[in-house]
Amino acid sequence: MKKSFEIRALMVTLDPWLASIFKDLSKDLGIDAQSSASSSGVTRELGSMNYESVLIDFDTISDPLPVLASVRESRSSKEAFVFAVATPDFQRHQAIQQGADFVFQRPVLPVKIWGALNSAYGRMVNQRRSSFRYSTELSVFLTRGVAGGRFQATTMNISSNGMSTSSGNHFTPGEKLSVDLGLPQGGMIHGIATTIWDDKHGRTGFALQYTPKMQARLDSWLDAQFALLLSPNFVA
Protein backbone atom coordinates (compact mmCIF):
# COMPACT_ATOMS: atom_id res chain seq x y z
CA MET A 1 0.00 0.00 0.00
CA LYS A 2 1.33 3.43 -0.93
CA LYS A 3 2.34 5.54 2.05
CA SER A 4 -0.03 8.44 2.49
CA PHE A 5 2.45 10.98 3.75
CA GLU A 6 6.20 11.07 3.44
CA ILE A 7 9.21 13.10 4.46
CA ARG A 8 11.37 13.99 1.46
CA ALA A 9 15.10 13.53 0.87
CA LEU A 10 17.21 14.69 -2.08
CA MET A 11 20.27 12.66 -3.06
CA VAL A 12 23.15 14.28 -4.95
CA THR A 13 25.55 11.47 -5.85
CA LEU A 14 27.01 9.70 -8.88
CA ASP A 15 27.31 6.42 -6.95
CA PRO A 16 24.34 4.19 -7.93
CA TRP A 17 24.99 1.76 -5.06
CA LEU A 18 24.89 4.55 -2.47
CA ALA A 19 21.74 6.03 -4.00
CA SER A 20 20.02 2.63 -4.00
CA ILE A 21 20.93 1.77 -0.40
CA PHE A 22 20.06 5.23 0.93
CA LYS A 23 16.73 5.17 -0.93
CA ASP A 24 15.79 1.69 0.32
CA LEU A 25 16.68 2.41 3.95
CA SER A 26 14.93 5.77 3.81
CA LYS A 27 11.78 4.08 2.52
CA ASP A 28 11.69 1.88 5.64
CA LEU A 29 11.31 5.08 7.68
CA GLY A 30 8.66 6.60 5.43
CA ILE A 31 11.18 8.92 3.75
CA ASP A 32 10.84 9.44 0.00
CA ALA A 33 14.44 9.78 -1.26
CA GLN A 34 14.87 10.95 -4.85
CA SER A 35 18.05 11.54 -6.87
CA SER A 36 18.84 14.97 -8.27
CA ALA A 37 19.02 15.08 -12.04
CA SER A 38 22.39 16.87 -11.74
CA SER A 39 24.39 18.78 -9.15
CA SER A 40 23.92 21.95 -11.20
CA GLY A 41 20.14 21.56 -11.01
CA VAL A 42 19.92 21.31 -7.22
CA THR A 43 19.00 24.98 -6.76
CA ARG A 44 16.10 24.57 -9.15
CA GLU A 45 14.91 21.41 -7.40
CA LEU A 46 15.15 23.07 -3.98
CA GLY A 47 13.01 25.88 -5.33
CA SER A 48 10.25 23.58 -6.53
CA MET A 49 10.03 21.15 -3.59
CA ASN A 50 10.54 21.10 0.18
CA TYR A 51 13.13 18.63 1.41
CA GLU A 52 13.68 17.60 5.01
CA SER A 53 17.07 16.01 4.28
CA VAL A 54 19.74 16.13 1.59
CA LEU A 55 22.55 13.66 0.87
CA ILE A 56 25.63 15.22 -0.81
CA ASP A 57 28.40 12.92 -2.03
CA PHE A 58 31.60 14.99 -1.89
CA ASP A 59 33.55 12.01 -3.25
CA THR A 60 31.74 11.72 -6.58
CA ILE A 61 30.38 15.14 -7.58
CA SER A 62 32.79 17.72 -8.93
CA ASP A 63 31.75 20.83 -6.98
CA PRO A 64 29.96 19.86 -3.75
CA LEU A 65 30.39 23.07 -1.74
CA PRO A 66 28.05 25.17 -3.94
CA VAL A 67 25.48 22.37 -3.64
CA LEU A 68 25.66 22.51 0.16
CA ALA A 69 25.50 26.32 0.05
CA SER A 70 22.39 26.18 -2.15
CA VAL A 71 20.67 24.02 0.47
CA ARG A 72 21.46 26.43 3.31
CA GLU A 73 20.45 29.44 1.17
CA SER A 74 17.20 27.93 -0.10
CA ARG A 75 13.91 29.32 1.12
CA SER A 76 12.10 26.08 1.94
CA SER A 77 14.88 23.56 2.70
CA LYS A 78 17.50 25.63 4.52
CA GLU A 79 16.86 23.70 7.75
CA ALA A 80 17.14 20.31 6.03
CA PHE A 81 19.32 17.68 7.69
CA VAL A 82 22.41 17.37 5.47
CA PHE A 83 24.22 14.04 5.17
CA ALA A 84 27.62 14.28 3.48
CA VAL A 85 29.86 11.51 2.17
CA ALA A 86 33.41 12.84 2.32
CA THR A 87 36.28 10.40 2.65
CA PRO A 88 39.45 12.58 2.48
CA ASP A 89 40.03 14.49 5.71
CA PHE A 90 40.13 17.90 4.02
CA GLN A 91 36.74 17.30 2.41
CA ARG A 92 35.27 16.05 5.67
CA HIS A 93 36.41 19.24 7.41
CA GLN A 94 35.00 21.35 4.56
CA ALA A 95 31.64 19.61 4.81
CA ILE A 96 31.43 20.16 8.56
CA GLN A 97 32.55 23.80 8.32
CA GLN A 98 29.94 24.51 5.65
CA GLY A 99 27.08 23.09 7.70
CA ALA A 100 26.79 19.36 7.06
CA ASP A 101 25.07 17.64 9.99
CA PHE A 102 26.49 14.14 9.56
CA VAL A 103 29.50 12.98 7.56
CA PHE A 104 30.11 9.44 6.28
CA GLN A 105 33.48 8.17 5.06
CA ARG A 106 33.84 5.32 2.59
CA PRO A 107 33.30 2.46 2.86
CA VAL A 108 29.76 3.48 3.79
CA LEU A 109 28.11 0.54 5.54
CA PRO A 110 24.31 0.16 5.35
CA VAL A 111 24.13 -0.22 9.13
CA LYS A 112 25.77 3.20 9.52
CA ILE A 113 23.32 4.79 7.09
CA TRP A 114 20.42 3.19 8.98
CA GLY A 115 21.73 4.47 12.31
CA ALA A 116 22.25 8.00 10.97
CA LEU A 117 18.76 8.08 9.43
CA ASN A 118 17.22 6.94 12.70
CA SER A 119 19.12 9.58 14.65
CA ALA A 120 18.05 12.34 12.27
CA TYR A 121 14.45 11.19 11.90
CA GLY A 122 13.03 13.25 14.78
CA ARG A 123 14.48 16.45 13.37
CA MET A 124 13.13 15.63 9.91
CA VAL A 125 9.66 15.12 11.39
CA ASN A 126 9.85 18.47 13.19
CA GLN A 127 10.95 20.15 9.97
CA ARG A 128 8.08 18.57 8.05
CA ARG A 129 5.62 19.65 10.73
CA SER A 130 6.84 23.26 10.64
CA SER A 131 5.89 23.49 6.95
CA PHE A 132 2.75 21.37 7.27
CA ARG A 133 -0.23 22.75 5.35
CA TYR A 134 -3.37 20.67 5.72
CA SER A 135 -5.78 20.49 2.79
CA THR A 136 -9.29 20.58 4.23
CA GLU A 137 -12.62 22.33 3.85
CA LEU A 138 -13.57 24.18 7.04
CA SER A 139 -16.11 26.93 7.52
CA VAL A 140 -14.55 30.32 8.24
CA PHE A 141 -16.08 33.77 8.81
CA LEU A 142 -14.20 36.96 7.92
CA THR A 143 -15.28 40.37 9.26
CA ARG A 144 -14.21 43.78 7.97
CA GLY A 145 -13.98 46.25 10.87
CA VAL A 146 -16.92 47.02 13.15
CA ALA A 147 -19.53 47.51 10.43
CA GLY A 148 -17.67 46.39 7.34
CA GLY A 149 -19.58 43.20 6.72
CA ARG A 150 -19.18 39.55 7.63
CA PHE A 151 -18.35 37.03 4.93
CA GLN A 152 -18.41 33.24 4.95
CA ALA A 153 -15.69 31.29 3.18
CA THR A 154 -14.36 27.75 2.99
CA THR A 155 -10.73 26.85 3.63
CA MET A 156 -8.76 25.08 0.93
CA ASN A 157 -5.80 24.50 3.22
CA ILE A 158 -4.58 25.72 6.58
CA SER A 159 -1.29 25.86 8.50
CA SER A 160 -0.22 27.17 11.90
CA ASN A 161 0.04 30.72 10.58
CA GLY A 162 -1.91 30.91 7.35
CA MET A 163 -4.73 29.64 5.19
CA SER A 164 -6.14 29.88 1.69
CA THR A 165 -9.89 30.17 1.20
CA SER A 166 -12.56 30.00 -1.45
CA SER A 167 -15.46 32.47 -1.39
CA GLY A 168 -17.37 34.88 -3.60
CA ASN A 169 -15.58 37.90 -2.18
CA HIS A 170 -12.45 39.83 -3.08
CA PHE A 171 -9.92 41.23 -0.63
CA THR A 172 -7.07 43.71 -0.99
CA PRO A 173 -3.49 42.59 -0.19
CA GLY A 174 -2.58 44.03 3.22
CA GLU A 175 -6.20 44.23 4.34
CA LYS A 176 -6.81 43.04 7.92
CA LEU A 177 -9.95 41.19 9.01
CA SER A 178 -11.23 39.37 12.06
CA VAL A 179 -11.40 35.63 11.49
CA ASP A 180 -13.53 32.95 13.15
CA LEU A 181 -12.56 29.42 12.16
CA GLY A 182 -14.70 26.43 13.06
CA LEU A 183 -12.87 23.21 13.91
CA PRO A 184 -14.40 19.79 13.07
CA GLN A 185 -14.64 18.69 16.72
CA GLY A 186 -16.46 21.89 17.64
CA GLY A 187 -15.36 25.23 18.98
CA MET A 188 -14.08 28.32 17.20
CA ILE A 189 -10.62 29.75 16.66
CA HIS A 190 -10.60 33.56 16.75
CA GLY A 191 -7.80 35.67 15.29
CA ILE A 192 -6.67 38.34 12.85
CA ALA A 193 -6.22 37.61 9.14
CA THR A 194 -4.01 39.71 6.87
CA THR A 195 -4.62 39.33 3.13
CA ILE A 196 -1.49 38.12 1.32
CA TRP A 197 -2.91 37.50 -2.13
CA ASP A 198 -6.25 37.46 -3.96
CA ASP A 199 -6.65 35.96 -7.43
CA LYS A 200 -9.87 37.94 -8.15
CA HIS A 201 -11.64 34.64 -8.83
CA GLY A 202 -12.76 33.96 -5.28
CA ARG A 203 -9.55 32.47 -3.90
CA THR A 204 -7.57 34.31 -1.23
CA GLY A 205 -4.50 33.66 0.90
CA PHE A 206 -4.22 35.00 4.45
CA ALA A 207 -1.53 35.21 7.12
CA LEU A 208 -3.05 34.51 10.54
CA GLN A 209 -2.32 35.74 14.06
CA TYR A 210 -3.84 34.32 17.22
CA THR A 211 -3.62 34.73 20.98
CA PRO A 212 -1.39 32.07 22.61
CA LYS A 213 -4.49 30.17 23.78
CA MET A 214 -6.04 30.11 20.30
CA GLN A 215 -2.70 29.23 18.69
CA ALA A 216 -2.27 26.29 21.05
CA ARG A 217 -5.78 25.04 20.22
CA LEU A 218 -5.18 25.23 16.48
CA ASP A 219 -1.71 23.66 16.71
CA SER A 220 -3.08 20.80 18.82
CA TRP A 221 -5.63 20.04 16.11
CA LEU A 222 -3.01 20.33 13.31
CA ASP A 223 -0.66 18.06 15.27
CA ALA A 224 -3.39 15.41 15.36
CA GLN A 225 -3.93 15.66 11.58
CA PHE A 226 -0.17 15.52 10.98
CA ALA A 227 0.15 12.39 13.14
CA LEU A 228 -2.63 10.67 11.19
CA LEU A 229 -0.94 11.41 7.85
CA LEU A 230 2.62 10.59 8.88
CA SER A 231 3.60 7.06 7.97
CA PRO A 232 4.57 4.85 10.94
CA ASN A 233 8.30 4.37 11.31
CA PHE A 234 10.42 1.62 12.79
CA VAL A 235 13.12 2.73 15.20
CA ALA A 236 15.96 0.28 15.78
Q: What is the pLDDT of residue 42?
A: 83
Mean pLDDT to the nearest integer, 186-210: 91
Q: Does the bond joining 107 to the residue before it have cis omega, within 30 degrees of 0?
A: yes
Give the three-state DSSP class for 34. Answer: strand
Give percent of the chain above pLDDT 70: 93
Q: Which residues does residue 11 pair with via DSSP β-bridges, in sequence order?
A: 35, 55
The Cα 105–Cα 99 span in angstroms is: 16
Q: What is the pLDDT of residue 224?
A: 83
State the chain's mean pLDDT as an integer: 87
The Cα 3–Cα 26 span in angstroms is: 13
CA 39 to each of CA 54, 68, 73, 203: distance values in angstroms, whole numbers, following the listed order: 12, 10, 15, 37
Q: What is the pLDDT of residue 231?
A: 52
The Cα 218–Cα 236 span in angstroms is: 33
pTM above 0.75, yes or no: no
Q: Check: CB of residue 104 under 8 Å from CB of residue 116.
A: yes
